[in-house]
Chain A
Amino acid sequence: MYEVRFHGRGGQGAVMAAQSLADAAFIEGNYAVAFPYFGAERRGAPVLAFARVDANKIYRKTQIYKPDYVIVLDDKLIDLINVAEGLSKDGMAILNSTKKPEEIQLENEVRTATVDATTIALDVLGVPITNSVMLGAFAKATGLVKIESIEKGIMDIFGARIGERIAKKNAKAARTAYERTAIGTCKGGRIFKKEKKWLPTYKELPLGLATRAMKTDAGLVGPGSFVENKTGSWRTFKPIIDKEKCIECLFCWFYCPEGCISRTSNGLKIDYDYCKGCGICANECPANAIEMVR
């Protein structure tokens, strides 16, 4: 049996990637499962998905803590979280990165594959969604599944969800990544601050979870705690407002899911600490005054 953990962000399709990989393995005669872990998800938040493959029926129903492979869909995640946590010594990290494997530093020295998935996705699909791309890289880096099976898996899973035309493009993106993936070994020794979690006993936990603003080991909880959660780090594209074109209709202010647009005496202002780059504002602007810049 081998176990794969996918790291991505809400909207990047980590779940569909895990499903497509499982489907590809199934096509080759294996038993395979794929499943998500959903937290307080929304577009842009870090998410996990998992896949398990074996020759026989799989009974284990837990999440994966000691993966054989990790696949990271978002290039910025490796600087924020320890994506290699629990990764087996003989395992492999498959990363979306413009760097060569040797230039990457993770917790331990492990076999590493890299591919500039964001660029491939933008070229082939026109959007920075890297799930299918990373599957091509996985096929190349591990040899565990044939690229043809990956393409078939993508056609099955993506085809059913978003239609055959776009599924084909995704299969092509996977194939492109397959051809461009670099394989090597990363540097080890990177120290990650252990993510602190607030894990109170039932007695310490506010009764019924009615929570006043308070400081915990893991930061603020309760009303106003979001000031610490800077969603700006999620951003690939940055919205820029052209003041000349803006008619101050406030559509963008209304639609921004993060509430980070405000009106000032000097026109509209975006708080880039919290802007996650979703592009909704640009999409809604009737004056075409917002451009999304990488």
Chain B
Amino acid sequence: MMRMVTGNYAVAYGALLSRVDLIAAYPITPQTFIVEHASEFVNDGLLDAEFMRVESEHSAMSACVAASATGVRAFTATASQGLALMHEVLFIAGAGHLPIVMPVVNRTVASPIGIWAEHNDTMPQRDTGWMQVYCEDNQEVLDMVIQAYKIAENKKVLLPIMVNLDAFILSHTVEPVNFPEQSKVDKFLPRYKPEHVHLSPDDPMTVGSFAPPEYIQEVRYQTEESMLNAKKVIQEVNDEFAKMFGRNYHGMVEEYRTEGADAILVTIGTVTSTAREVIDEYRAKGKKVGLVKLRFFRPFPIEQFIDIAKRTKAIGVYDRSISFGSGGPSFIEVKSAIYGHTSIPMINFLAGLGGRDVMSDDIELMLDKTLEAAKTGKVEKDVVWIGTRGVTP
């Protein structure tokens, strides 16, 4: 069934279709409607879940950790400062192998206080042991909430996951979304039956205990192994979903018109959609450009980028956040992924910080600069700020 819904509604409905058992969330703009819709679903009897009103995001994540440790499907959603407040508990969910799904409406982190799209809320959480996927439209948001549970609960993975959507550009935008049938989703996503952690008086376990250095490094390796295993599982789940529901997101990255491209632009989040249009225009003019949509940031698609880099002459990477003093997170990762495999020039483009609109012109500039680098084999500047007053791009 097609319906006109916001990204926030798609998130909440994804949780409903996933038959979550516990929702613990604290409202924050622009995520608030997720919490409202979810509470209505529970109130109206559409969703048989425990709805916990908590006093903060820190408590929301703590409640999810505890609930997940009892073996139920836990759900929360947040944004910006709310995610920052959860930070310490994120590690507990990650190392604890608790497959919690958390949509994050990407919003700038103060200061200055802003409510628009920036990825500086989720990017700093990259080392907490959570998987991360970035969405492009509301359909992908709904589909990824469902897929997220299936990936997270896979016995070879068992890690929590953030499903990221850009503030307002998705969260508050209505567009047509195909709602899958519950019976089909049930078939795709059976009930969660954990063995590794299942707090119950009948089967006592120690969870979250103290551990001396003799054990912690092994626990770290467990998380790493799960992350590496996830790469394959993400693809399998993607393919199974595509078969059942007819929508294919191509796994960790999606390539768009990369055949024979001299210059490839890597984008993350909603900028991808605008970039598709510009790529089409350039291709129509005979310019050899292609697009790679970076979907999963954790685990990072290292192998995919090694392969892509071998097929092109220059790579530009767009980021909606910056690691000050270094560059955009996606740029840093892509560069490190392809190191030693090729020596093609790479450029980082920063635009749209704080939610400023990223225009077609901006993307044209990115493509032109990457094409230029492909031609000369050189770059003038590694990190290019676009549309920043007083800064020459």
**Which A residues have a C-beta under 8 Å from some C-beta of B?**
39-40, 197, 199-202, 205-213, 222-224
Instruction: Pick the contact of A40: B97, B205, B212 (CB < 8 A).
Output: B212
| Contact indicator B158/A222 (Cβ below 8 Å) | no
Chain A residues contacting B218 (CB-CB under 8 Å) are: 200-202, 205
Cβ-based interface call for B214 (8 A): yes
CB contacts under 8 Å to A, within B70-105, are: 95-98
| Chain A binding surface SS class | loop
Complex interface residues of chain B between 179 and 217 (CB less than 8 A to chain A): 196-197, 203-212, 214-215
Task: Provide the residues of chain A in CB contact with B359, threshold 8 Å.
Answer: none
Q: What A residues does B214 contact at CB under 8 A?
A: 197, 199
B307 an interface residue at 8 Å Cβ cutoff?
no
A212 B203 Cβ-Cβ under 8 A: yes
Number of interface residues of B (CB under 8 A): 25
Tell me the B residues contacting A by CB distance below 8 Å. 69, 95-98, 158, 196-197, 203-212, 214-215, 218-219, 221-222, 225
- Assembled-state Cα–Cα distance A221/B163 (Å): 37
Q: How far is the CB of B363 from chain A (nearest CB, A)?
A: 42
What are 14 inter-chain pairs, A to B, with CB distance below 8 A? A202-B225, A205-B218, A205-B222, A207-B222, A208-B97, A208-B197, A208-B222, A209-B211, A210-B196, A210-B206, A211-B207, A212-B203, A212-B204, A223-B206
Question: Which residues on the B side are within 8 Å of A206 (C-beta)?
Answer: 196
A212 vs B225: C-alpha distance when bound (angstroms): 22
A208 CA to B216 CA in the complex, in Å? 9
CA of A128 to CA of B90 in the docked complex: distance in angstroms? 45
Tell me whether B221 and A212 are in contact (CB under 8 A). Answer: no
| Pairwise interchain contact A210-B212, C-beta atoms closer than 8 A | no
Bound complex: CA A39 to CA B210 (Å): 10
Q: Is the CB of A212 within 8 A of B205?
A: yes
Q: Which residues of A contact B197 (CB under 8 A)?
A: 207-208, 210
How many Å from the CB of B333 to the closest CB on chain A? 25
Chain B residue nearest to A210 in the complex (CB)? B197
In the complex, the chain B residue whose C-beta lies closest to that of A221 is B206
**Nearest Cβ in chain B — how far from A62, in angstroms?**
13
Tell me, in angstroms, the Cα distance from A210 to B207 when the chains sit together.
5
**B residues near A200, Cβ cutoff 8 Å:** 218
**Cβ contact of A222, chosen from B96, B206, B219, cutoff 8 A:** B206
Chain B residues, Cβ within 8 Å of A208: 95-98, 158, 196-197, 207, 219, 222
